[in-house]
Amino acid sequence: MYPYDFFTQYRVDQLVDQVFVGMWFDQEHKPRYDNVIVKAIKNANLKPYRVDQPVSGDSIPINILQGILNSKIVLFDVSYITSEISISPSVKKRFRNANVMYELGLAHAWRLPEEIIVIRDDEDSLPFDVTTFRAHKYDFNNVDSSINQLSKVITDSFSEINRAKSLMVERAAKSLDSRCINFIFSNRGRYFSETKYDPVTANIINRLLDLRILWIDTSGGGGSYAYHWTELGRDVIKYHKIEPCPKNES
């Protein structure tokens, strides 16, 4: 599925308590996953989630997209996957996994910077487009030290995420006018699917979509759709001290 289509159709209201792991899954890198990454994630009270087998065809596997979009943390190992290869008589080069780099690009487009963790086992220069993002270096042969360091990075990420999201919620909540607040109060977090609105209500909905307080679910097909409240939207509801509707009504 094309990433934009997935992004507009398959977001969840609340992120899953897991860490999506994007890395090269071969036998050479398996020990670092089993012995370091899994243990570090579990030490942070989360579940590791990885997708080992690609789906045939030219589309990106849905479970990879789901993991990147809906996990609480996304982690990418961008270490080299090859030893030096001669590309000319005088030039040798090593390569990073192209699929992992692409998935990292999707994460940069979809997620907060604080929700993304990049690791590697080398100190060479990264591709230009990702040089401004920190990549944590680990010696995966030093298992205990790597587990402790990575566990701390994951745990510290939650503090940064909470700080960033608090600022986002406050900014979004304070940007709403009285009409938007009244609409939120009358809805209280229920999903809705009416197709015809008066111009004022339509403008309110568009404003909430622009702020990512609402999102549109078109997965039902046949031209049907429904509006759902995002995680940010539910936090904005709480910010304004509006009692959300029970979950079985949302």
Nearest Cα residue to 74 out of 121, 152, 10, 15: 15
pTM: 0.76
Angle made by CA atoms 225, 226, 231, in degrees to the nearest 5: 135
Look at residue 216 and tell me whether its pLDDT is greater than 70.
yes
- What integer pLDDT is reported at residue 127 of this predicted model? 75
- Tell me: the pLDDT tens digits for 41-52? 999 999 999 987
Tell me if domain 3-165 and domain 175-249 are identical in fold: no
The C-alpha atoms of residue 133 and residue 114 are separated, in whole angstroms, by 10
- Tell me: the pLDDT tens digits for 167-213? 999 999 999 999 999 999 988 888 887 767 889 999 999 999 999 89
In the chain, domain spans:
3-165, 175-249
- Tell me: the pLDDT tens digits for 94-109? 889 999 999 999 999 9
**What single-letter DSSP state applies at residue 230?**
-
The C-alpha atoms of residue 192 and residue 225 are separated, in whole angstroms, by 9
- What integer pLDDT is reported at residue 147 of this predicted model? 97
Query: Torsion over CA of 152, 39, 18 and 235, rounded to 10 degrees?
Result: -30
CATH number among 1.10.3720.10, 3.40.50.10140, 3.40.50.300, 3.10.20.740, domain 3-165: 3.40.50.10140
The CATH architecture of the domain made up of 175-249 is Orthogonal Bundle (1.10)
Q: Bigger pLDDT: 40 or 222?
A: 40
Is residue 104 helix, strand or coil? helix
Contact status, residue 81 vs residue 95, Cβ threshold 8 Å: yes
Contact status, residue 92 vs residue 80, Cβ threshold 8 Å: no
- What integer pLDDT is reported at residue 84 of this predicted model? 67
- What integer pLDDT is reported at residue 224 of this predicted model? 74
- What integer pLDDT is reported at residue 126 of this predicted model? 80
- Tell me: the pLDDT tens digits for 64-101? 998 999 999 999 999 998 766 767 777 778 889 999 99
